[in-house]
Structure 1
Amino acid sequence: MPTAKANGINLYYEQAGSGPPLLFISGTGGDLRNKPNQFDGPFPKAFDMVSYDQRGLGRSAKPDTAYTMADYADDASALMGELGIEKAHVIGVSFGGMVAQELVLRHPHRVDRLVLACTSPGGAGGASFAFHEIGHLQGEARAKHLTPISDTRRDDAWATANPDTYKQIIAMSSADPYADEPGHEMGARRQLEARAHHDTWDRLKQIEAPTLIAAGRYDGIALPQAQENLASRIKGSTLRFFEGGHLFMIQDRTATATMIKFLNGEEV
């Protein structure tokens, strides 16, 4: 099992593909055991991609201490160092986009080109949906609550008109095969506590890396206005909306193609 000692803890990582180095930072609850995942998409066909389970998640260490967004950014930078990657393109998705913001701010020398996908700046720029406030909801109840938020088109009328699709979405969203693992609940909770304090708003003007902000038009988790705010604050950034909600990267096939073009330095 590939692990690296990074920032004082063991992080599980995977690496695949060839080409320029790419660090892919996953979202809330990300676990590389869940398939399909980023390694089953087009990125490893274009880049030498590394992705990992963040602290408290998956097969990485789960220290029972308070986590901070700075910890997550320092983990990413330290992992790159352990793997001999001086600088890489970075894609951060949702919570991973928050980590990516901290990474480029705390360790700018690590980031070549940056993609911030369905994420938010926090603070006065707007926060993403407050997952830490729905900890009492689990399984099917949680999935039913989040489905119309994740994609605002999926309201009650849509669910009634598309019962089979709705049932499938709820079943997939409810599943948590690793819920009973030691430290699972604690690590997930620690992540949400750190996420609740994410705020890069006053520092975003410091970002110099070429940045693409990518988002779904119907995302109720990382709101479209937050994307506009990010774009207004990161100088020279490019903002693109796609046909989808929080999962726009799998709902709109042009999204990943656009990200790859951007990371290759092409116009998008």
Structure 2
Amino acid sequence: MKRTIAHLVLTALILSSCNNTNRPEQTKTHGYSEVNGIKMYYEIYGDGKPLVLLHGGGSTIQTTFGRVIPMLAKHRKIIAVELQAHGRTSDRGKDATFEQDADDVATLLKNLKIDKADFFGFSNGGTTTIQIAIRHPQIVDKIVLGSALSKRNGMPPQFWDFMKQANLTNMPQELKDAYLAVTPDPKGLQIMHDRDAKRMVNFKDIPDEQIKSIKAKTLIIIGDKDVIKPEHAIEMSRQIADSKLAIIPGVHGEYIGEITTLKSNSKEEDYVIPMMESFLDK
């Protein structure tokens, strides 16, 4: 009974978060755009130079960025999107790839008449940001790569073993509840999970020459207890010529208050976001 009550309370909090708290007064626009065969959901906050936010796997805009959007929107026009099969964005009936996600974001920005932007991608969104910088450099100014993966050896071997056996029951409950709060479709939740799991199982290294081709000024952020190995972030910072590296105390996503880390009650975003803004504004 206690577990049921706790689950109901968590669901209510997520619903409130998705519908109210994390869509604050500075929201300018939210809607859908026809993008390469899918209806892509986006939200726009604030005014100023565009900064595109790309969420992690299995996530929505709010589960990844809900804690930091109000901070970032004070000085920027924030364009936050939900990628294929995630949150409110539809599925195209094909496997998800980081390359396709990158092309989808580029098309969305064209539809929104945004010629160039900065990008902040977290986790899978960070890998998508790498692909945007490689495939669409003309739309990129600066990029922030939060816990981004470019090589399989960037993860411990047990991660890949886990992904081969991934199933919906192992997905963090906070992420499942958040998806169903904005898209009450259990079949859609299963599709999102399966697309993300298959993409990771089939993940192939991004070639060194492609990483080295990135010309955008880059800030790489990682937690010292991240699922991504610190050595991987260090190597990527050496491959991208104009890059900086920040290793922050905490686990995967704790430095931006990602929803599964909220129980830690940390406030790392209070100094990470100003650091990121300082990088973007130089």
Same fold, TM-score > 0.5, yes or no: yes
Q: Could you say what secondary structure the match of 1:230 adopts?
A: helix
2:220 equivalent to 1:213:
yes
**1:225 Cα deviation (Å)?**
1.3
> Which residue is 1:3 aligned to?
32
Q: Could you say what secondary structure the match of 1:86 adopts?
A: coil
Note the aligned Cα RMSD (angstroms): 2.4
**1:24 Cα deviation (Å)?**
0.6
**1:205 Cα deviation (Å)?**
0.3
CA distance, structure 2, for counterparts of residue 41 and residue 119 of structure 1:
23
Residue identity matched to 1:185 = Q
Q: Which moved more, 1:86-95 or 1:127-136?
A: 127-136
> Which residue is 1:157 aligned to?
none
> Which residue is 1:244 aligned to?
250
Residue identity matched to 2:134 = L
Structure 1 pair 62/177, CA: closer, same or farther in 2 (3 Å)? Answer: closer
Deviations 1:119-167 (A, max 9, x none): 22124x624744633423625xx55xxxxxxxxxxxxxxxxxxxxxxxx
> Which residue is 1:86 aligned to?
115
2:164 equivalent to 1:133:
yes
Q: Which moved more, 1:226-235 or 1:130-139?
A: 130-139
Structure 1 pair 173/72, CA: closer, same or farther in 2 (3 Å)? Answer: closer
Aligned equivalent of 2:272, options 234, 255, 267: 255
Deviations 1:187-212 (A, max 9, x none): 22112322341532421000000000
The two structures have a TM-score, normalised by structure 1, of 0.79
CA distance, structure 1, for counterparts of residue 112 and residue 67 of structure 2:
19
Aligned residues: 234
Stretches of 4+ moved more than 6 A in 1?
none
CA distance, structure 2, for counterparts of residue 71 and residue 43 of structure 1:
27
> Which residue is 1:190 aligned to?
195
CA distance, structure 2, for counterparts of residue 15 and residue 30 of structure 1:
18
CA distance, structure 2, for counterparts of residue 102 and residue 238 of structure 1:
18
CA distance, structure 1, for counterparts of residue 118 and residue 176 of structure 2:
33
Structure 1 pair 181/175, CA: closer, same or farther in 2 (3 Å)? Answer: closer
2:71 equivalent to 1:65:
no
Q: Could you say what secondary structure the match of 2:245 adopts?
A: strand
**1:71 Cα deviation (Å)?**
0.6
CA distance, structure 1, for counterparts of residue 179 and residue 188 of structure 2:
14
Contact 1:121–1:127 at 8 Å: present in 2 too? no
Q: Which stretches in structure 1 are left out of the alignment for 5+ residues?
A: 144-170
Contact 1:69–1:198 at 8 Å: present in 2 too? no
Deviations 1:232-266 (A, max 9, x none): 1111210011121112223412111111111111x
- Identical columns (%): 26
Residue identity matched to 2:164 = E
Q: Which stretches in structure 2 are left out of the alignment for 5+ residues?
A: 1-29, 258-265
Contact 1:16–1:39 at 8 Å: present in 2 too? no
Q: Could you say what secondary structure the match of 1:212 adopts?
A: strand
2:233 equivalent to 1:227:
yes
> Which residue is 1:156 aligned to?
none
Contact 1:4–1:12 at 8 Å: present in 2 too? yes
Structure with the higher fraction of residues in helix conformation? 2
Residue identity matched to 2:186 = E
Structure 1 pair 216/112, CA: closer, same or farther in 2 (3 Å)? Answer: same
